[in-house]
Amino acid sequence: MVLVISRFRVANGLESEVAEAFQKRPRLVEAVPGFLGMEVYTPHADQTIFHLVTRWTDRETFHAWHKSPDHRLSHGMLPTGLKLDPTVTQILELERLPQIGQQGELQDFLGDSIILLEAFLTQTDTIVYCVMSPDGRIQVYNDVLLTKLKISRTAFATTTIWDYLTLTDQHRLQPIFENGTSNHHERVQLNFIDSSQNPHTFNCLVQKNSSQAIILIGEEPEKFNQRAFVELMQIQNEMTVKMREEVKSGNRLSENNSYLNQLVTERTKDLVYHQEQLRAMLVKLALVEQHERQNLANDLHDYLAQLLIACRLKLGQIDQGPTPPSHSKMIQEVDGMIDQSLTFTRTLITDLNPSILHHQGLLPALKYLSEDMQRVGLTVASPETIPPMKVAEDISVVVYKTVRELLFNVLKHAGVTNASLHWECPSEQVLLIRVSDSGKGFDPETRQLEQEPGHLGFFFYRERIRALKGQFDIISSPQMGTTVTIIVPPSP
């Protein structure tokens, strides 16, 4: 490892502006391979002197950064008109001496492992991490967090973690920051709000120490699942066994980095592949189910409904002839039962395969669904206007089925008889649908782990929507109601 210390003195009274500039720096260096960390120090006796300390894997990496355009660009954050004292300016490059013996080799390997972990967290699109000060200012983070919250680095530097959390989750996280035990891990689920006011639910692992808190965030709850933890634990165990064997044999352990990189890459590819296959299978199952429903509805219409109509016609012909009064009354009773059977058959045909979904499209079908739920005891408020957006049939089938199941979930579990179904089109390529209620609510994390027997629950819904390249977000807490937001493209 190489330590680079840049020492300089501010000569024209702008030391406070320089200190603020370092706090709000664009953090371009964090993306440079081989960069390990940076700190800024000032002597207590002379606040005009600054020591900029950076850590690198080797000299070549530092010199490549020092000559790069991004290095010059990073100096643009310094205040205009800054003047330095040339007699104090100095740059020192210090290289760490190798340790002696097996313990030293172990320390070297652990240092390389930290680099590997940092590279993994920097490059992954699955896990988000950030380090915060006690007042909530975000000091270190990776780019996935910016992407999810749809915010620029500049805007992010002027905000705190509290600006992106719902009020409920602020109250959940603040006690951990204020009263949490040092180096204690706690797992919580947090709902982040992006710059477009869309919710994103994350499973988070929070660790607090004496001066700061670290949050390790799963991109989505389904990606932060048990299988992923098992895979990561297997990698960790293999790392530990390999490390101990190499230490005992006296061999240097740094050569294992390439092996571990390859192992992580292969396991990650396998996880992503199986997840994509699962999502594709769920969509295929939904489409096959809808196809079978359509066939059954057609059979009911073409055969059973026609037979019932024919029976009514035959009874009408019999009733027109000379029949005893007692027989005429029985004929009327049978006719009434056949009429009830026809009504039930038509309702069943509509439930199995709503023709409005195929003839008029998704949004008119959702409007019909919101009105039809009154029949089973749920009053659903929905917009009066229907945007003229055409949605692909496969997407329409999956979304309609998901929304229908969500409304029945409200009826069965929320303990209320009112719900809201909202839709809007923020752009030509985005359809947003929101189902909400003010009922019992639940803990989304617990609901993910404790499904009812025979039901796949919200995991099933989320994977189906994700397979359409959409988003499925849940905001809920006990006694605070539930809001589910679905965002999908109108076409694949």
pLDDT in tens, 345-363: 767 666 666 778 878 889 9
Q: Which residue among 353, 386, 408 closes a domain?
A: 353
Boundaries of domain holding 301 = 255-353
In a domain, 154, yes or no: no
Q: Which residue among 49, 81, 97 closes a domain?
A: 97
Q: In sequence order, what E strands does 57-163 have?
A: 90-95, 127-132, 138-141
In a domain, 229, yes or no: no
Dihedrals φ, ψ of 77, to 5°? -80, -10
- The rounded mean pLDDT for the chain is 75
pLDDT for the residue 305: 65
Confidence check: pLDDT of 167 > 90: no
In a domain, 211, yes or no: no
Same domain, 491 and 376: yes
Same domain, 337 and 366: no
pLDDT, greater one: 104 or 62? 62
pLDDT, greater one: 128 or 173? 173
Same domain, 374 and 270: no
Same domain, 259 and 305: yes
Which residue has tokens 């000060």?
133
For residues 372-388, give the mean pLDDT.
90
Dihedrals φ, ψ of 368, to 5°? -60, -40
Sorted by sequence, the CB contacts under 8 Å of residue 187 that are 6+ apart come out as: 203, 204, 205, 206
Same domain, 473 and 422: yes
Pick the range with the lowest mean pLDDT from 304-308, 358-362, 462-466.
304-308
For residues 111-130, give the mean pLDDT.
57
Confidence check: pLDDT of 204 > 50: yes
In a domain, 80, yes or no: yes
Same domain, 309 and 401: no
Dihedrals φ, ψ of 285, to 5°? -60, -40
Same domain, 488 and 375: yes
Q: Which two tokens stand for residue 398?
A: 């999956």
Confidence of residue 105 (pLDDT cuts 50, 70, 90): very low
- Residue from 184, 186, 185, 182 nearest 210 by CA: 182
Q: Which residue among 97, 127, 152 closes a domain?
A: 97
* CA separation for the pair 466, 221 (Å, rounded): 12
In a domain, 476, yes or no: yes
Own/partner contacts of 460-464, CB < 8 Å, gap of 24 or more, are 460/282, 461/402, 461/405, 461/406, 462/220, 462/221, 462/222, 463/222, 463/278, 463/279, 463/282, 464/279, 464/282, 464/283, 464/286, 464/398, 464/402
In a domain, 346, yes or no: yes
Same domain, 380 and 433: yes
In a domain, 444, yes or no: yes
Query: How many domains does one find in the chain?
Result: 3
Q: Which two tokens stand for residue 49?
A: 């002197």
Confidence check: pLDDT of 437 > 90: yes
- CATH code, domain carrying 51: 3.30.70.100
Same domain, 333 and 452: no
Q: In sequence order, what E strands does 276-412 have?
A: 379-381
Report pTM: 0.40
Same domain, 348 and 463: no
Same domain, 275 and 332: yes
pLDDT for the residue 403: 92
End-to-end CA distance of the chain: 49
Same domain, 434 and 348: no
Sorted by sequence, the CB contacts under 8 Å of residue 277 that are 6+ apart come out as: none
In a domain, 118, yes or no: no
Contact present, 486 and 472 (Cβ < 8 Å): yes
Q: Label residues 304-326 b or e (16+ Cβ within 10 Å = b).
A: ebeebeebbeebeeeeeeeeeee
* CA separation for the pair 152, 143 (Å, rounded): 10
Contact present, 443 and 403 (Cβ < 8 Å): no
Give the percent of the chain with pLDDT over 90: 11
